[in-house]
Amino acid sequence: MSDPTRQPGMALDFLRTTLPFSELPPDVLQWLARACAVDFMPSGTRLFERGRTRPDRLWLVQKGAVRLDGNGRDADMTGTETVIDVPELTDVRGEGASVGAVALLEGGVASANVDTVEDTFFITMPREVFLQLVEREQVVAQYYMKGLPERFVSKAFAEMRVRCEGLADEKGLYLFASRVGDLVSRPPVAAVRGTSLREAAAMMVERGVGSLLIQEENGEIIGIVTDSDLRKAVAMCMDYAAPVETLMTTPVVAMEAERPCFDGLLEMMRRQMHHLAVVRDGRIIGVVTAHDIMVMQGRTPMSLFREIMHQRTLEGVQPLGPRVVQVVRGLVEEGARAGAITRMITVFNDLILEKVLALLQRELGPPPVPFCWMCMGSEGRREQTFATDQDNALIIRDTDDPIVRRAAGIYFDELAKRAVGHLAACGFRLCAGNMMASNPQWRQEQAGWSELFARWVRRPEPEEVLRASIFFDFRAGYGREDYVDALWGQVLADVAGNELFQRHLAADCLRMRPPLSFFRNFIVEKDGQHRNTLDLKRRGGLPFVDFARVMALRCGVRETGTLDRLLALEAGGHIPAQLGKEAREAYELVMHLRLVHQLEAVERDQTPDNHVDPARMSDLEKQALKEAFAVAVRLQGFLRDLFHLDLG
C-alpha cells in the first residue's frame, strides 16, 4: 500500500459533493478535510481480507472502484446448504461509496474481501475521526447505522419532482398541504325527517347552501340531500309535499377534518359524488364540495373526471385515456408521491372501465345473468402506472339452466372481446400472456373460479403457481362485488395453514434477486449481464410485491395493494415494525422512479416503459435506490428464514 498524503483542498471538494458529508456545516467540513488523507491503490490490490483485516480508517472511493466478495454457498443433493470459501460477488462500489464503516462501528473485522477492480484513489478518514463524527453528527450516524435517513429520501423525491418540466409553484401543493377542514366556511344546515321537498328547497335558498343534512328528532344524522337531488325531483314531476328523506342519500359519506384535500377529492371521485361531510371529534362540522376544491386549487383532476362521466359514446371515451397522464403529471409537480399518484390513476382507470362496460351493455342489452369484471395484477393492486397492460377476468353467476348458460356464453364472449378492444383503444395495452376476459379460460362461473383457485392452493405445481400469482391480487372492478368477496373468503380459508402452497409462493419470491449495486452507468448484478438499464418493475418493485402477497395470504390479510398489505402486516405484528416501515418507503421510492421515468418518456413522445438508465439519475437517487434494493434483500431474507428455504 502507498503512503497516504494530506491534501485538504482535494478532500474538501470531494466531501462537499458526497453523502452524508455534504449535509454537514462548513466548519465541520473544514475540520474533517484537514483530518483526511488521499491514498492510491493499483488495480487488483486487496484492501480487506474477510475475517482477518481490522480496518483502522474509513475508505471513501474518490475515483475508481472496489469489489466486495462474501461467502459462497454450495448445496448437496438433499438441498442442504453449506458455506464454502468460494468468493461470491456481493457489491461493486464506485465513486462516492465507502468501505470499512461497519467494522469501524462494531470494532470488528471485515466481513468481506475488498479488492480494487481498477486503479483507485481514496479519501481516507482515521478511525477515531470517523467515530467522533458519528457521535457528534446525527446525519452521519443515521446514514451509516440506519441506512438512508428519511431526509435524504425526501430530497430524492424533491429531485424527481424538479425533473418534471413545468414545475408548479408553491400554491400547487394545496391538495396535499391543506386539510379538508380548511375548506369548511360555515356550519352544516340540517332538516328533520318529514320536511317536505318544497320546504327543503326553500331552506337551501334562504341559507345559500347546496346541501341539507337530514336528521332524526333526536339530532342523529341519517342522510343528505343536495341541490342536484332536488333538480331530479323536479324533472321527475315528484310531489313537492313528499318528505325529503325520499330523496336523501344514506349513509352520509364523511371524512376527518385533518385528512388532506387530495384524499377528499379522491373519495368524491371514487364514489362519484360532489358533497363530503367533514368530521371533527365525532361531530359533522360542515360539508365541502368538489367545487370548493376546484376553486382553491385552480387546476384539478375533476374536469377530466366530469368528462369521463358525461360521455355517451364509446368513441368519445377513447381519447380520454391518454389525458390521464397530463392530469397526473400535475400531481407529481405538486409533490405527490407514488402511493397517491397510483390511487388517482386507479380512480380514472376504474371510471373508464365502468363507462366502457356500461355503454357496451347499452349496445348489447342486459346480460342474461349478473357478473363481475375482475381486475388482477397491477390493476388489482391499484398500482397501475403509465406503462400498464390489461389483466382482467369475468366471474359469471352460477346457473344450472343449459339455455341460460349458452346465452351467457355468447353474450359474455362478445362483451369481453369488445371491452378489451375498447380498453386497448383507451390506452390499456393488451396482455402479452393473454390473461384477459377475452380469453375463454378467464371467463368462468362462480363454481369454476372456486374450483380453479382451490386447485392452485390445494395441489400447487410450482410453474402453475408462478403463472397464476397475479390472480391472487384480484379485486372487483365492475359489477357484483359480492362474487369477489365470496371468492376471497374461500381463498383465505384454503391458504390458512397450507404450508406447502405458502412455501411455493415464498420460493417464487426468491427467484427475482434485486440488483446488488450501481457502478458508474452500469447496474451490477450477480450475473453481470444487465448493463446500462434497469427494469424497475421486475428487478426493483417485484420483490416487494411478491413479499407482500405471500405474507398477506399467509396471515389472512384481504388487502390487495402492496403498500396496504405491508401496513396491515406491520399493524398486525406479522412483520417487524421497522422492516414494514422501511419496505413501504422503499417500494414507494421505486414506484415513484418508475412514474417519473415514464413521464419523461411521454414528454419525449416515446412509449413509456420500466427500463431506467442510471446515467440519467442523480447520485442521491442512485443512493436512495440502492438502499431500497437492500431492503428488498432483507425482505427475501425474512422469507427464507420464515419458511426455512435454503436456496443458493
In tens, the pLDDT along 101-111 reads 989 988 889 98
What tens digit of pLDDT does each residue of 130-141 get?
999 998 888 888
Q: Above 80 in pLDDT, residue 423?
A: yes
If DSSP codes are grouped into helix, strand and coil, which group holds residue 636? helix
Q: Above 60 in pLDDT, residue 78?
A: no
The C-alpha atoms of residue 42 and residue 64 are separated, in whole angstroms, by 10
Q: Region 47-73: what's the mean pLDDT?
A: 86
Query: Same structural domain for residues 602 and 547?
Result: yes
Any idea what the CATH number is for the domain that residue 574 is in? 1.20.120.330
What's this model's pTM, rounded to 2 decimal places?
0.70
The C-alpha atoms of residue 632 and residue 583 are separated, in whole angstroms, by 7
Any idea what the CATH number is for the domain that residue 376 is in? 3.30.460.10
- The pLDDT value given to residue 2: 53
- The pLDDT value given to residue 3: 56
Cα 386-157-261 angle, rounded to 5 deg: 75
Any idea what the CATH number is for the domain that residue 204 is in? 3.10.580.10
- The pLDDT value given to residue 648: 45
- The pLDDT value given to residue 171: 41
Q: Where are the alpha helices (DSSP H) in 479-576?
A: 481-495, 499-509, 542-555, 562-571
- The pLDDT value given to residue 464: 75
Query: Same structural domain for residues 341 and 484?
Result: yes
| Cell matching residue 260 | 388532506
Note whether residue 382 is domain-resident: yes
Q: Region 193-216: what's the mean pLDDT?
A: 90
Which helix (DSSP H) or strand (DSSP E) does residue 128 occupy? Answer: helix 127-136
Rounded to 5 degrees, φ, ψ at 123 are -100, 120
158-162, 366-370, 544-548, 572-576: least confidently modelled range: 158-162
Model confidence band, residue 404 (pLDDT cutoffs 50, 70, 90): very high
Query: Same structural domain for residues 563 and 629?
Result: yes
Between 267 and 353, the more confident residue is: 353
Annotate 507-528 with three-state secondary structure.
HHHCCCCCCCEEECCEEECCCC
Model confidence band, residue 161 (pLDDT cutoffs 50, 70, 90): low
Long-range contacts (CB closer than 8 Å, 24 or more residues apart) made by 68-74:
68/92, 68/93, 68/99, 68/112, 68/113, 68/114, 69/112, 69/113, 69/115, 70/111, 70/112, 70/113, 73/648, 74/648
Note whether residue 229 is domain-resident: yes
Task: Choose among 418, 465, 416: nearest CA to 444.
Answer: 416
DSSP state of 433: T
Specify whether the CB–CB gap between 273 and 253 falls below 8 A.
yes
Rounded to 5 degrees, φ, ψ at 175 are -60, -30
535-539, 573-577, 619-623, 628-632: least confidently modelled range: 619-623
Mean pLDDT of the chain: 85
Q: Above 70 in pLDDT, residue 235?
A: yes
Q: Region 593-621: what's the mean pLDDT?
A: 83
Model confidence band, residue 296 (pLDDT cutoffs 50, 70, 90): low
Between 388 and 44, the more confident residue is: 44
Residue 476, CA atoms < 13 Å, CB-side half-sphere:
15
Note whether residue 327 is domain-resident: yes
Note whether residue 1 is domain-resident: no
Q: Where are the beta strands (DSSP E) in 165-253?
A: 190-192, 211-215, 221-226
Q: Which residues contact 635 (CB under 8 A, 6 or more apart)?
A: 543, 544, 547, 579, 583
Q: Which residues contact 563 (CB under 8 A, 6 or more apart)?
A: 339, 584, 587, 588
- The pLDDT value given to residue 6: 79
Between 83 and 314, the more confident residue is: 314
Percent of the chain with pLDDT over 90: 48
Note whether residue 188 is domain-resident: yes
Note whether residue 167 is domain-resident: no
Query: Same structural domain for residues 194 and 249?
Result: yes
Q: How many domains does the chain have?
A: 4
- The pLDDT value given to residue 558: 94
Q: Above 70 in pLDDT, residue 510?
A: yes
Task: Choose among 436, 610, 263: nearest CA to 428.
Answer: 436
Query: Same structural domain for residues 405 and 539?
Result: no
- Cis before 4 (ω within 30): no
Note whether residue 92 is domain-resident: yes
If you write DSSP's letter for every residue of 287-320 in order, what string do you get?
EEEHHHHHHHHSS-THHHHHHHHH--SHHHHTTH
| Cell matching residue 360 | 357496451
Query: Same structural domain for residues 513 and 598?
Result: yes
Model confidence band, residue 523 (pLDDT cutoffs 50, 70, 90): low
What tens digit of pLDDT does each residue of 181-198 get?
888 878 899 999 999 999
Note whether residue 174 is domain-resident: no
| Cell matching residue 467 | 403463472
Query: Same structural domain for residues 514 and 488?
Result: no
Residue after which a domain boundary falls, among 469, 495, 521: 495
Residue after which a domain boundary falls, among 146, 168, 196: 146
**With the CA atoms of 181, 187, 192 and 193 taken in that order, what torsion angle do they form, in degrees rounded to the nearest 10?**
-20
Q: Which residues contact 54 (CB under 8 A, 6 or more apart)?
A: 103, 108, 109, 110
Kindly report the number of other CB atoms within 10 A of residue 410's CB atom: 10
- The pLDDT value given to residue 612: 86
Query: Same structural domain for residues 491 and 508?
Result: no
- Cis before 367 (ω within 30): no
Q: Which residues contact 78 (CB under 8 A, 6 or more apart)?
A: none
Query: Same structural domain for residues 546 and 637?
Result: yes
73-77, 242-246, 260-264, 288-292: least confidently modelled range: 73-77
Query: Same structural domain for residues 491 and 507?
Result: no
Any idea what the CATH number is for the domain that residue 76 is in? 2.60.120.10
Query: Same structural domain for residues 71 and 94?
Result: yes
364-368, 558-562, 625-629: least confidently modelled range: 625-629
Q: Above 80 in pLDDT, residue 446?
A: yes
Q: Region 198-212: what's the mean pLDDT?
A: 89
Rounded to 5 degrees, φ, ψ at 55 are -60, 145
Cα 86-88-90 angle, rounded to 5 deg: 155
Query: Same structural domain for residues 531 and 610?
Result: yes
The C-alpha atoms of residue 284 and residue 526 are separated, in whole angstroms, by 57
- The pLDDT value given to residue 82: 37
Supply the range of the domain harboring residue 239. 179-296
The C-alpha atoms of residue 166 and residue 117 are separated, in whole angstroms, by 42
Q: Region 503-517: what's the mean pLDDT?
A: 83
- The pLDDT value given to residue 546: 95
Residue after which a domain boundary falls, among 296, 315, 335: 296
347-351, 437-441, 616-620: least confidently modelled range: 616-620
Rounded to 5 degrees, φ, ψ at 89 are -60, 125
Percent of the chain with pLDDT over 70: 87
| Cell matching residue 203 | 331552506
Beta bridge partners of 67: 92, 115
Residue that is written with C-alpha cell 362519484 in the block = 272
